[in-house]
Amino acid sequence: MTITVRANGPSICDPDRTGVPAGEPVHWKATYPIRAEYRRRVQTTIRVFYESYLFGAKWKLRPKTIRDSRRGGPPGERVTGIRWKRFGGRTAVGSGRLRQDYCRRGDNCPQNGKRVRLVASKAAYCKGSDKIEYLRLRFYIGGMLKTDIPIKCSG
């Protein structure tokens, strides 16, 4: 890195002291401690599969479908047709429809097809995935909390 400094004073500008003719730049080197800070805007991602913490996980920006199949056995639940009001900041808020993959015609599944509100929060950097991602995802049906998924960072 090169930093240019303009100075004024007899020790720097006096041709008799520096040996450089008047009006010419005086080149000198010195070592100074410098502190540089910067900020950059990075999009927060969200995992769309919760089968494991890294294997099979997919990270998306504003996903249309999120699947929760952590329970093992038959396919779990998914929220489809998600429309996001907010995404990428401290929290993400969206809504979609709950689809229970294990629910068949004639089964008693009162929540299947219901409107779901999603709230993703706790955006943080995960070393294992090398991504900034939401570490908590909550599903609300009718204003009541249905599912709260804490997501662990690996690594």
Q: pLDDT, tens digit, for every residue of 51-106?
A: 444 456 677 888 898 876 554 444 577 889 999 999 988 899 999 998 887 777 77
Q: Is the pLDDT of residue 44 over 90?
A: no
Q: Quick check: 60 and 82 in contact, CB under 8 A?
A: no
Distance CA 63, CA 58 (A): 10
Provide the pLDDT for residue 9. 63
Q: pTM for the full model?
A: 0.64
